[in-house]
Structure 1
């Protein structure tokens, strides 16, 4: 069983300047989402980062919210959290594929995103993966975002946006 395998985990990155992360969560399965959130928040705080959390109706809305935040706000990275459990229809495949595709496209456009949207066959699998003291997939998604932020800072410093960008004093400048 895959749950018993040992996996290599990268060392937590360190930062000269604190990171600010937006966590976007779809709390359709509230108890599972709460566990994913706990793991993500703990990982971000362990890296001395700050975070804000917004809720969206479902997994399909997560990429849209991240894309909006990327254009309109000032975050270093993003954590996508939610859970999709297979049902009796093909809706599961649509939600899994399209939410993943949206997050991938945003990542390829320069957004630092950790994907913690669980795609599982049943509730038991989701509970095991979401548990902060267990597989901690929420913490893993936050760690992925932190590592991507570290790479981005190492390779090029600050991000360049399109349109208006907030400055240090919360005024705006044209990007």
Structure 2
């Protein structure tokens, strides 16, 4: 079953501009550069504006995204970096903590594509960051774009400050009753 090719969704298109923040942890710079190249190619294919920042390690990626979310107006985020298992428990701690933090922010409504690799050997990271292959940086950028598209699909217009009586929008068909 390992030879089965995955189904890849077409990239979404947008009527209104989209701006993403790509947060890169370049600890393994060659891998990070390949992941970033893949993400940039995907975002350029869709015509999305993006900024790129670097942080020291994958541990700081979720914090940088949280700061950007509080202090800026990005529509979504792409997290990139690489962890290679070593001789200490740091690998387990860093991979779990960064993944968990990104997932929790995603569950709170942020649109985040997670392209942080956690591998046993650097050769595994090289295979996943290969520009000609299925670059995980590009896949993370695509995931962020799909989440932005989904959040815009279900967005409700803001009515300003005060009490809101907006009906709750239900997921599902575009026709028929779609509010509760």
TM-score range, shorter chain: 0.7 to 0.9
Q: Structure 1 residue 86: deviation in Å?
A: 0.4
CA distance in 2, matches of 1:158, 1:60: 35
2:166 maps to what in 1?
none
SS in 1 for 2:92: helix
CA deviation map 1:119-149 (0-9, x unaligned): 0000100000011211200000000000000
The 8 Å contact of residues 132 and 138 in structure 1, kept in 2 or not, is answered as no
1:119 maps to what in 2?
118
Within a 5 Å distance, the mapping from 1:29-108 to structure 2 comes to 29-108=28-107
Structure 1: 5+ residue stretches without partners: 160-175
CA distance in 1, matches of 2:157, 2:103: 21
Q: Structure 1 residue 5: deviation in Å?
A: 2.8
**Count of aligned positions:** 158
SS in 1 for 2:154: helix
TM-score after normalising by structure 2: 0.85
CA distance in 2, matches of 1:44, 1:135: 15
CA deviation map 1:67-86 (0-9, x unaligned): 00000011000000000000
CA distance in 2, matches of 1:70, 1:44: 19
1:166 maps to what in 2?
none
TM-score after normalising by structure 1: 0.87
SS in 2 for 1:51: strand
SS in 2 for 1:17: coil
RMSD over aligned CA atoms reads: 1.4
Q: Structure 1 residue 157: deviation in Å?
A: 5.3
Instruction: Tell me which stretches of 4 or more aligned residues in structure 1 moved more than 2 Å.
Output: none
The 8 Å contact of residues 21 and 75 in structure 1, kept in 2 or not, is answered as yes
